[in-house]
A and B are shown apart, each in its own frame.
Chain A
Amino acid sequence: MKKLNRRHFLMSTGAAVTATGLGAPSILRAQADTIKIGGLHDLSGPLDASGIPMDQVFKLAIDDINEKGGLLGKQVEGVVYDPQSNMSLYSQYATQMALKDRVAAVFGGITSASRETIRPIFHRYNTLYFYNTLYEGGVCDRNEITLGTTPAQTVEQLIPHAMNLWGKKVYTIAADYNYGHITAAWVKRYVEANGGEVVETEFFPLDVTQFGSTISKIQAAKPDIVLSVLVGTAHLGFYRQWVASGMKQEIPIASTTFAAGGTDAVILTPEEGNGILTSYGYYTSIDNPTNTAFKEKVAAAYPDNPPILSELSEVTWEGVMVWADAVREAGTIERDPLLEVMETGKSYDMPAGAVSIDPKTHHAIRDVYLAELQDQEFIIKETFPQVQPADTQMVCNLKETPDANVHHEISL
């Protein structure tokens, strides 16, 4: 047996830390002949159901680039950390990626809280950052490329469609944090713009699991539509208790959040989920050759544990592909030339349809879809081509203020 000296001790504890996934990137040895990009998605903790598929697609995108010969004659290498749904780990790993690993770009962050934790860090160190989640809108930062949908893109389509189908009285139930409040305000604006009325808006802390009293109140108010901006697995209880109260046949539900990460549609039984109307930037049922090829790639890469595809994971793919395209065109991995390529507003052919980046806001101009859940699959009802991120455009113009570094709370 070897004598235990300090070096051995450090090596073995280092190995232990790696094994538990606490501190080390999944690829430890950095080689000078690779281009490193960072993936920061929650692989454990309450958000892992969203984070793991995003991470799987992130790695697949890297493999796809490498199979086609890499970039600038080099292989691309993913540096992955698990922030464990924990904000202090987010800031720690973000700093580490920017300063120690010196990655060319970072992809990730899921909640707005995690994005606002890491966005200023990447801004400070000029590390190009791609945020790939639908969110409440309002980020104004030239260093961040935001490809997910915002309320002005989805709510604007969902509300008139639902009102046409079902009626003008809307009852909004929303999660009690900034996303829920901002989206509820957009709901009210679009309902009123379409000649309807929001009879009540109720907010729910994220740990509320009991919806009996709310369901009774909805029964008393007799709206034509229940509009759900509920978030998280605790709130899934609403849909379940709604069906248990015999309301499924009575009042239809439209939602801007249901199954955003794809998992809700699986956790609810088909009888509970059928008929819920949603609007996002991506559904697996989108019918185009790029999407078919994308789904085949994903299925081939993960035969045993296929990721649940949703806007979150598909947009992660978009992020890596948009970055790779810019690297090819600019011939460098330096941030500013890449941003200039993306700011030309060129159009990218993605599984979700054509996507381009609005140079004023660095948000995506993209196709938005309306779809209804049937037997745990979303059936697309309507497609709205090339929708602008109108909400963020109200508050942000990076052409005029390229140094902006804020998240505007868009007030209506």
Chain B
Amino acid sequence: MDYVLIILLEMLRAVSWLVLLASGLAIIFGMMRVINFAHGEFLMLGGYITIMTHNNGVPLWISMLILAPLTVGIFGILVERLVIRHLYGRIIDSLLATWGLSLLMIGGVTLVFGNTVQGVSTPFGAVSIGEYSIPLYNFVIIGFAAAIMLATWAVLKFTKVGLVARATMQNPDMAETLGVRTTWVYMATFGIGSAVTGLAGGLLAPLTGVVPSMGVNFVGQSFITVITGGASMIAGTLSASTLLGTVSQGVTFASGPVYGDAALLLTALVLLRVLPQGITGRIFKKSL
């Protein structure tokens, strides 16, 4: 009984993890059809900001929840202004440019901060469930994943800004005609997407080793989730994360992590063969 509960919680955590990793990328991809190949390095930057500021005396929560998203968000706006905006509509070129950016960021962070920096321990400690104990921090991950999804949905659905964003997403030319500065919308979107990625990087810093090359460990999962989900930011991310997270954790529990990884890839492969536009290309088509 306890074990079943543990497995369910672990699956929920895995789903939330994918939501956190992918949502920044999904915001950018869903809105602008730009694939940010430096996504993993944006996560890394968020993680680095968190541990560097925390090691210099800033309380962990401020480092993680304010400084990391703020810095990465501002960095994202800079990148959009300097690089991305010249490459709208040129997917391959933007892929290449952001790949170059990722190399630059790895080199830059190594140069500025060094590649061996003491990280931060996971806060909060553990909670016992019967014979098992799991980190309380898991619930922070789950909470933030839910909060990010909810906030994105609320902004898109209920605010003027969200309306403008949706208009730009559906028909940029028409939106422009009606007086919307689509370039500003794109800039803001890229900044917000980057900030969300920075927040995710901050949140995962206490769970993993933060080093300049860490991005590569996360970028695969993020991309698979976003591509499997399709173009809708929320429905896509949620459906893909739920499916992939449950399958991979289920298989990991049943056999082991090697098969868990393989099952995740296989599921994504089959899905993309059947639904080349991603889950939301066919199902939940009209959703956000």
In contact, B213 and A247 (Cβ under 8 angstroms): no
The reply to whether the CB of B117 lies closer than 8 angstroms to some CB of chain A is yes
The complex places the Cα of A181 from the Cα of B211 at a distance, in Å, of: 26
Instruction: List the B side residues contacting A202 at CB < 8 Å.
Output: 256-257
Contacts A45-B213, A220-B132, A233-B214: A244 and B121 contacting too (C-beta < 8 A)?
yes
Q: Which of A237-277 contact B (CB under 8 A)?
A: 237, 240-241, 243-247, 263-264, 266-269, 271-272
The reply to whether the CB of A290 lies closer than 8 angstroms to some CB of chain B is no
A281 to chain B, nearest CB (A): 21
The reply to whether the CB of A31 lies closer than 8 angstroms to some CB of chain B is no
Instruction: List the B side residues contacting A203 at CB < 8 Å.
Output: 256-258
In contact, A204 and B206 (Cβ under 8 angstroms): no
The reply to whether the CB of B107 lies closer than 8 angstroms to some CB of chain A is yes
The reply to whether the CB of B80 lies closer than 8 angstroms to some CB of chain A is no
The complex places the Cα of A272 from the Cα of B122 at a distance, in Å, of: 10
B220 to chain A, nearest CB (A): 7
B198 to chain A, nearest CB (A): 18
Q: How many residues of A contact B (CB 8 A)?
A: 44
Instruction: List the B side residues contacting A48 at CB < 8 Å.
Output: 110, 115, 213
In contact, B121 and A207 (Cβ under 8 angstroms): no
The complex places the Cα of A237 from the Cα of B214 at a distance, in Å, of: 11
Q: Which of B193-251 contact A (CB under 8 A)?
A: 204, 206-211, 213-214, 216-218, 220, 249
The complex places the Cα of A196 from the Cα of B84 at a distance, in Å, of: 59
The reply to whether the CB of A373 lies closer than 8 angstroms to some CB of chain B is no
Q: Name the CB-closest residue of B to A270.
A: B118
Out of B135, B214, B257, which one reaches A205, CB within 8 Å? B257
The complex places the Cα of A52 from the Cα of B213 at a distance, in Å, of: 15
In contact, A49 and B116 (Cβ under 8 angstroms): yes
Instruction: List the B side residues contacting A271 at CB < 8 Å.
Output: 121
B8 to chain A, nearest CB (A): 11
Q: Which of B119-162 contact A (CB under 8 A)?
A: 119-122, 124-126, 128, 131-135, 137-138
Q: Name the CB-closest residue of B to A208.
A: B257
Q: Which of B151-186 contact A (CB under 8 A)?
A: none
Instruction: List the A side residues contacting B131 at CB < 8 Å.
Output: 219-220
The complex places the Cα of A266 from the Cα of B211 at a distance, in Å, of: 12
Contact with B along A261-305 (1 / 0, CB 8 A): 001101111011000000000000000000000000000000000
Out of A52, A209, A246, A308, which one reaches B125, CB within 8 Å? A246
Instruction: List the B side residues contacting A240 at CB < 8 Å.
Output: 119, 121-122, 206-209
The complex places the Cα of A215 from the Cα of B117 at a distance, in Å, of: 25
Contacts A219-B133, A246-B125, A263-B116: A237 and B207 contacting too (C-beta < 8 A)?
yes
The reply to whether the CB of B277 lies closer than 8 angstroms to some CB of chain A is no
Instruction: List the A side residues contacting B207 at CB < 8 Å.
Output: 209-210, 237, 240-241, 244
A331 to chain B, nearest CB (A): 42
In contact, A217 and B116 (Cβ under 8 angstroms): no
Contacts A209-B217, A220-B3, A269-B121: A44 and B107 contacting too (C-beta < 8 A)?
yes
In contact, A209 and B218 (Cβ under 8 angstroms): yes
The complex places the Cα of A237 from the Cα of B256 at a distance, in Å, of: 17
- Looking at the complex, which of B9-17, B23-31, B278-286 is the stretch in contact with chain A? B9-17
In contact, A241 and B135 (Cβ under 8 angstroms): yes
B52 to chain A, nearest CB (A): 13
In contact, B211 and A267 (Cβ under 8 angstroms): yes
Contacts A219-B131, A236-B208: A210 and B256 contacting too (C-beta < 8 A)?
no
Instruction: List the B side residues contacting A243 at CB < 8 Å.
Output: 121-122
The complex places the Cα of A205 from the Cα of B59 at a distance, in Å, of: 34
In contact, A176 and B125 (Cβ under 8 angstroms): no
Instruction: List the A side residues contacting B110 at CB < 8 Å.
Output: 44, 48
In contact, B137 and A234 (Cβ under 8 angstroms): no
Contact with B along A57-95 (1 / 0, CB 8 A): 000000000000000000000000000000000000000
The complex places the Cα of A287 from the Cα of B260 at a distance, in Å, of: 46
Instruction: List the B side residues contacting A268 at CB < 8 Å.
Output: 118-119, 209
Q: Which of A192-236 contact B (CB under 8 A)?
A: 202-205, 207-210, 212-217, 219-220, 233-236
In contact, B217 and A216 (Cβ under 8 angstroms): no
The reply to whether the CB of A14 lies closer than 8 angstroms to some CB of chain B is no
In contact, A241 and B115 (Cβ under 8 angstroms): no
Out of A52, A207, A216, which one reaches B134, CB within 8 Å? A216
Instruction: List the A side residues contacting B134 at CB < 8 Å.
Output: 212, 215-216, 245
Q: Name the CB-closest residue of A to B255.
A: A202
Out of A214, A219, A241, A272, which one reaches B257, CB within 8 Å? A214
The complex places the Cα of A48 from the Cα of B253 at a distance, in Å, of: 34
In contact, B216 and A207 (Cβ under 8 angstroms): yes
Out of A208, A216, A263, A266, which one reaches B10, CB within 8 Å? A216
Instruction: List the A side residues contacting B126 at CB < 8 Å.
Output: 244-247
In contact, B217 and A207 (Cβ under 8 angstroms): yes
In contact, A241 and B217 (Cβ under 8 angstroms): no
The reply to whether the CB of A385 lies closer than 8 angstroms to some CB of chain B is no
The reply to whether the CB of A167 lies closer than 8 angstroms to some CB of chain B is no
A46 to chain B, nearest CB (A): 4
Instruction: List the A side residues contacting B218 at CB < 8 Å.
Output: 209
The complex places the Cα of A323 from the Cα of B106 at a distance, in Å, of: 35
In contact, B257 and A49 (Cβ under 8 angstroms): no
Instruction: List the B side residues contacting A246 at CB < 8 Å.
Output: 125-126, 128, 133, 135
In contact, B213 and A236 (Cβ under 8 angstroms): no
Given contacts A213-B249, A233-B209, A267-B211, 17 further A-B contacts (CB under 8 A): A176-B257, A202-B256, A207-B216, A208-B261, A210-B14, A212-B134, A213-B10, A213-B260, A216-B7, A240-B121, A240-B122, A244-B206, A244-B207, A245-B135, A263-B115, A263-B116, A266-B118
A selection of 16 A-B contacts at a CB cut-off of 8 Å is: A44-B107, A48-B110, A176-B258, A205-B258, A207-B217, A207-B220, A207-B261, A208-B257, A210-B207, A219-B132, A219-B133, A233-B214, A234-B217, A241-B135, A244-B122, A246-B128
